Amino acid sequence: MSTEIVRISRLGAQGDGIAQTDTGPLYAPFALPGETVALAVNKNHGTLISLREASLERVEPKCRHFGPDGLNGTCGGCSLQHASDALYHAFKHNLVIDALKSKGLTPEVAPLVIAHPGERRRVVFTARLTEKGLLLGYNQAASHHIVTIEECPIASPGIVSRLAIIRKIAAAMASTSDPFRITVLETETGLDLAFEGLKLSDRQRRSTVEAVLGERGIARVSLNSEIVIEPVKPVIDFGGVAVSPPPGAFMQATRPAEEAMAKLVIDHVGKAKRVADLFAGIGTFALRVARIARVHAVEGEDKALKALDFAARNTQGLKPVTVEKRDLFRRPMMAQELKVFDAVVFDPPRAGAEAQCHELARSGVKKIAAVSCNPTTLARDLSILVASGYRITSVTPIDQFLWSAHVETVATLEKG
């Protein structure tokens, strides 16, 4: 390991500062463009030792857990609290532009739909029982060290105000010093706590039930997708449709981002009479679109699909919703199957929807709305559609993972 003084030229895709050196790019977390920094260098990675010249875009972090003066942030929940809003928003916007350019796509990209503190309704904590008590917080970046938190500016007030209760329940469930994960989802009826990585004895189960019954604001506690206690069903509202998600179900991290994405999708679908929603999850888009069109929802996860189906069948005022359990990675909907639809919505995991897009390209469906959490795979998927004659009509980046390097995008396309 050596010490080097370098000048940072730009931000990389993960939010690290990048310095160009004679041996190639050098990556420096928590450094900003225009800064001269002293780094402890190991191969192509640098740890920030000191700022020799700070950027005017460097700001005071919003959270004391982030790290002293924004240097070498300790809490792994955020990576860009030290950047000004202008720099941060431009970074997210450019992530999408650069990914599209890499595939030869140059559509106009709308301004970033920004995120605000306190909006995250879904967070994932790491916890571990020690001799001194329970640690609950986020893993430090590139480390198994848990930074215990007492506040969290990205999380909703409903989650932050119940950190002590979450610790109490986690302590009741833990029996060894092995780390475990807790996915916390704020629902309309209370917090939904999904634990992973634990084994629960009968005694611990009783302790957990007692801990929950003594507190308000907890809707459900589950372990490895099995319900431990459910005082009240957790409920999520999708445009007036109440859905009870299964334990640990995927949810958009913030409600404002979800509503922004849904509006873009619905506005694009327009007057379509039949819509296919692929990778439908628990119905984030399908149940909203069903207000205006018949929907066929396709999803590979059985419990998510059942939650969607139950909500659709028990909500008045919706157009017919049909469901299909199908692994769209292994068995995408074929072009011939897709021809009956006026519009298609797809929202795949980070891996994207390459196989499905090849079939969409051959289908001739008039309108497509693509939702993605990964600009790189989105660009690849859009290039497949554009090569077959689709035209990109809009691209909108949406921030819901505040002060991170992740960005959502909604792209709309039309045939011809």
Give CA–CA dist 379/101, Å, rounded: 8
Instruction: Provide the pairing of β-strand 45-53 with 122-130.
Output: unpaired
Question: What is the per-residue DSSP string for 182-217?
Answer: EEEEEETTEEEEEEES----HHHHHHHHHHHHTSSS
In the DSSP assignment, the letter for residue 68 is G
Q: Residue 35 annotated as binding?
A: no
Residue type for position 395: V
Give CA–CA dist 83/31, Å, rounded: 9
Q: Residue 299 annotated as binding?
A: yes
Q: Residue 347 annotated as binding?
A: yes
Which of these is catalytic: 63, 75, 357, 373? Answer: 373
Catalytic residue flag (residue 75):
no
Query: E strands within 215-334?
Result: 218-223, 226-229, 236-238, 241-243, 274-278, 294-299, 321-325
Residue 313 CB burial class (10 angstroms; 0-12, 13-18, ≥19) = exposed
Q: Residue 356 annotated as binding?
A: no
Written as six digits, the tokens of 389 are: 């004659």
Instruction: Give the residue ranges of the annotated binding site.
Output: 252, 279, 299, 347
Instruction: Give the residue ranges of the annotated binding site for S-adenosyl-L-methionine.
Output: 252, 279, 299, 347
Known catalytic residues are 373
